[in-house]
């Protein structure tokens, strides 16, 4: 008898054969260049991941950009920043446009490079030479000058936090010519040059007074600018009152150490701020960041922990209520236990890919009654979740399942063997399936095809949480590949599930840019 592994029967010769290999070396489908760039832009942080390093990711992005037109690169940068809330990849895509001398850069620059950190990222990437040039060039230099000459005092002060390059480095690099006296004095102050003290704007003047040891109110500036000042608990409370939402979330333990929660009214104030729906929306917070904050809040006052739980529910409000039977399959295999934003020396996220996958599954359980969750590794791990237990508790239960190998087709086979109904199947994975490796069509696609014979209306959504250029199920009318870990993913799922939306790349193509902003 012949070896059936080498010579399998193809039940459906219309299914395409795999054409590449994934990071584990098993067969997979290569994503088209536009889809691959979108995937990198929505998930890539240019850090070391389980199956690839930062240098390889950078090279892949540059190779993809070389195949694509400037318009799509610009729209992808805009999507990655405004919808996926990413930082490194949007700046890199803008640097690619700058290196090409593309007029599309001016069309998206202000919306992508929207704060001081993004400005520093953009300048550092350009001057590193990674995109093919080490100087800014006339158009990028003019855009950076415009940013500096239009930013508010508060935005400039926020941009002072961070180095390599520092804001002072950038100012010396591009020599902005401000029209206002206060801005001229501010740039001189920033660079340690003589300046007109009377022209210094109010926040900076108050900061200088505080640094000189003069009494006064704490100015609403990043607390990192106040680290050389001896601050009382009341002054730390003032910082907490003025903090932006993300800063507040990230520094709860810092405020606890400095006695902020013991200050009159502060516990109630902070709890109210943390669960403010509009503030959460403006902060563009990732749901997984709130999961991390909730974990780090153990030991903080109960009111803070409860506020973070409410904030997580608010951040997940875009989880759609899907019609019909929803099945969510979170991958809990070994590679999913890597940090969701990759390894970075001294600054790796404590949140793993498996935590994000578990959070997505738990969110659907909470929002969609009757949702079935099938966690998988080398096989399905049967686990019943209780919607009344809450998103946090269910996410922790899923993430606690031990790691193993990866078989992305396992939950699809499980459903087929039990002849269970499915209308929307959501697979949350890193797509590094290897146990079900075979020639011809992938095991995942073959299993999905068998499911659809019984449920022709069914749709498959493959959420990939890492920067990949491959998938286990190629895109078609009933299959959506989408990447990322912001709540924008939920919007795509909702639209795709009821058949009223384009696929991911088509949604990026539909982004409208103001052509007249390209002048100059």
- Quick: pLDDT tens for 134-154: 888 899 999 999 999 999 999
Model confidence band, residue 6 (pLDDT cutoffs 50, 70, 90): low
Output 498 or 259, whichever has higher pLDDT.
259
* pLDDT tens track for 13-37: 679 999 999 999 999 999 999 999 9
Does the pLDDT at position 422 exceed 70? yes
- Strand duo 27-30 + 20-21: pairing: antiparallel
Task: Dig out the tokens for 43 from the structure.
Answer: 């998930």
For residues 272 and 279, is the Cβ–Cβ distance under 8 A? no
Q: Can you tell me the mean pLDDT for 279-283?
A: 86
CA distance 507 to 484: 15
- pLDDT above 90 covers a percentage of the chain that reads 61
CA distance 290 to 280: 10
Q: Which of 494, 496, 486, 495 is nearest to 368 (CA)?
A: 494
CA distance 49 to 47: 6
Does the pLDDT at position 505 exceed 50? yes
CA distance 88 to 233: 36
What pLDDT sits at residue 460? Answer: 96
Write the DSSP symbol of residue 91: H
Model confidence band, residue 517 (pLDDT cutoffs 50, 70, 90): very low
Q: Can you tell me the mean pLDDT for 479-508?
A: 83
* pLDDT tens track for 443-473: 999 999 999 999 999 999 999 999 899 999 9
Q: Can you tell me the mean pLDDT for 247-270?
A: 94
Spatial neighbors of 96 by CB under 8 A, at least 6 apart, are 62, 65, 73, 131
What pLDDT sits at residue 518? Answer: 43
CA distance 385 to 362: 8
CA distance 45 to 53: 11
Report the chain's mean pLDDT, rounded to a whole number: 89
- DSSP SS3 for 61: helix
Q: Can you tell me the mean pLDDT for 255-259?
A: 94
CA distance 310 to 315: 9
- Helix H, strand E, coil C: the string for 170-205 is HHHHHCCCCCCHHHHHHHHHHCCCCCCHHHCCHHHH
- Strand duo 326-330 + 27-30: pairing: unpaired
Q: How far is CA 491 from the centre of its chain?
A: 15
What pLDDT sits at residue 193? Answer: 95
Does the pLDDT at position 227 exceed 50? yes
Does the pLDDT at position 491 exceed 50? yes
Model confidence band, residue 516 (pLDDT cutoffs 50, 70, 90): very low
For residues 93 and 72, is the Cβ–Cβ distance under 8 A? no
CA distance 310 to 499: 31
DSSP string, 217-277: PPPSS-GGGGTTS---HHHHHHHHHH--HHHHHHTHHHHHHTTGGGSTTHHHHHHHHHT-H
Does the pLDDT at position 401 exceed 50? yes
Q: Is 249 exposed, middle or buried (0-12, 13-18, 19+ CB in 10 A)?
A: buried
Please list, residue by residue across 136-171, b when 16 or more beta carbons sit within 10 angstroms of its beta carbon and e when fewer do. Answer: beebbbebbbbbbeebebeebbbbbbbeebbbebbb
What's the topology of domain 318-485? Rossmann fold (3.40.50)
Q: What value, to the nearest 5°, has the Cα angle with vertex 351 and ends 347 and 353?
A: 120
Model confidence band, residue 485 (pLDDT cutoffs 50, 70, 90): confident
Residue 106: half-sphere exposure toward Cβ, Cα within 13 Å: 16
Residues recorded for the chain: 520
CA distance 346 to 350: 11
Output 101 or 387, whichever has higher pLDDT.
101
- DSSP SS3 for 301: coil
CA distance 286 to 489: 11
Task: Provide the β-strand partners of residue 331.
Answer: 376
What pLDDT sits at residue 470? Answer: 95
CA distance 65 to 77: 11
- pLDDT above 70 covers a percentage of the chain that reads 95
- Least confident segment among 70-79, 87-96, 317-326, 496-505: 496-505
Q: What are the domain boundaries of the chain?
A: 233-315, 318-485
Task: Provide the β-strand partners of residue 300.
Answer: 298
Q: Can you tell me the mean pLDDT for 82-97?
A: 93
- Strand duo 459-464 + 326-330: pairing: unpaired
Model confidence band, residue 5 (pLDDT cutoffs 50, 70, 90): low
Please state the φ and ψ torsions of residue 272, each to the nearest 5 degrees: -65, -40
Measured torsion, CA atoms of residues 407, 412, 415, 419, in degrees rounded to the nearest 10: -140
Model confidence band, residue 369 (pLDDT cutoffs 50, 70, 90): confident
Q: Is 519 exposed, middle or buried (0-12, 13-18, 19+ CB in 10 A)?
A: exposed
Does the pLDDT at position 218 exceed 90? no
Output 148 or 517, whichever has higher pLDDT.
148
Q: Alpha-carbon torsion 73, 79, 80, 81, what sign? A: positive
Does the pLDDT at position 229 exceed 90? no
What pLDDT sits at residue 296? Answer: 83
* pLDDT tens track for 294-316: 888 888 999 999 999 889 888 88
Q: Which of 139, 133, 130, 135 is nearest to 61 (CA)?
A: 130
Q: How far is CA 184 from the centre of its chain?
A: 36
Taking only Cα atoms into account, the Rg of the chain, rounded to an integer number of angstroms, comes to: 25
What pLDDT sits at residue 346? Answer: 64
Q: Can you tell me the mean pLDDT for 247-262?
A: 93
Helices (H), 326-382: 353-367
């Amino acid at each position: 008898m012949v070896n059936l592994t080498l010579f399998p029967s193809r039940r459906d010769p219309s299914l395409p054969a795999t054409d590449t290999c994934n990071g584990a070396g098993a067969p997979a489908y290569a994503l088209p260049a536009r889809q691959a760039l979108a995937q990198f832009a929505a998930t890539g942080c240019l850090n070391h991941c389980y199956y690839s390093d930062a240098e390889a990711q950078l090279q892949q992005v540059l190779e993809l950009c070389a195949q694509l037109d400037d318009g799509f690169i610009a729209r992808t940068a805009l999507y990655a920043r405004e919808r996926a809330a990413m930082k490194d990849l949007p700046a890199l895509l803008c640097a690619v446009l700058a290196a090409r001398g593309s007029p599309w850069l001016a069309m998206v620059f202000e919306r992508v490079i929207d704060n001081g950190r993004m400005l520093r990222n953009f300048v550092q990437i350009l001057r590193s030479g990674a995109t093919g040039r080490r100087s800014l060039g006339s158009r990028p230099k003019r855009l950076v000058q415009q940013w500096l000459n239009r930013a508010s005092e508060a935005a400039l002060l926020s941009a002072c936090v961070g180095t390599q390059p520092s804001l002072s480095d950038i100012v010396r690099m591009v020599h902005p010519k401000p029209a206002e006296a206060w801005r001229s004095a501010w740039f001189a102050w920033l660079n340690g040059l003589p300046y007109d003290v009377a022209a210094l704007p109010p926040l900076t003047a108050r900061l200088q007074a505080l640094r000189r040891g003069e009494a006064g109110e704490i100015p609403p500036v990043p607390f990192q600018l106040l680290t050389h000042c001896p601050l009382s608990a009341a002054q730390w409370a003032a910082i907490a009152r003025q903090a932006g939402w993300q800063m507040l979330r990230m520094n709860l333990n810092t405020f606890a150490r400095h006695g902020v929660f013991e200050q009159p009214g502060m516990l109630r104030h902070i709890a109210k701020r943390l669960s403010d729906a509009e503030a959460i929306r403006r902060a563009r917070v990732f749901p997984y960041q709130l999961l991390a904050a909730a974990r780090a809040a153990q030991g903080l006052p109960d009111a803070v922990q409860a506020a973070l739980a409410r904030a997580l529910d608010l951040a997940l409000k875009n989880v759609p209520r899907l019609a019909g039977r929803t099945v969510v399959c979170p991958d809990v295999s070994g590679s999913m236990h890597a940090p969701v934003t990759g390894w970075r020396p001294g600054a790796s996220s404590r949140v793993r890919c498996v935590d994000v996958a578990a959070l997505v599954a738990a969110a659907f359980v909470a929002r969609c009654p009757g949702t079935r969750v099938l966690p998988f590794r080398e096989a399905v791990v049967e686990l019943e979740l209780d919607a009344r237990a809450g998103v946090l508790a269910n996410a922790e239960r899923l993430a606690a399942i031990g790691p193993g190998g990866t078989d992305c087709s396992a939950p699809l086979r499980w459903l087929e063997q039990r002849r269970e109904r499915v209308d929307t199947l959501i697979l949350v994975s890193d797509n590094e399936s290897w146990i079900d490796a075979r020639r011809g069509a992938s095991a995942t696609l073959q299993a999905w095809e068998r499911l659809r014979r019984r449920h022709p209306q069914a749709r498959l959504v493959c959420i990939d949480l890492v920067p990949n250029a491959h998938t286990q199920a190629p895109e078609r009318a009933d299959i959506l590949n989408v990447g990322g870990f912001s709540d924008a993913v939920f919007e795509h799922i909702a639209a795709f599930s009821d058949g009223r939306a384009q696929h991911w790349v088509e949604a990026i193509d539909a982004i409208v840019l103001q052509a007249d902003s390209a002048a100059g």
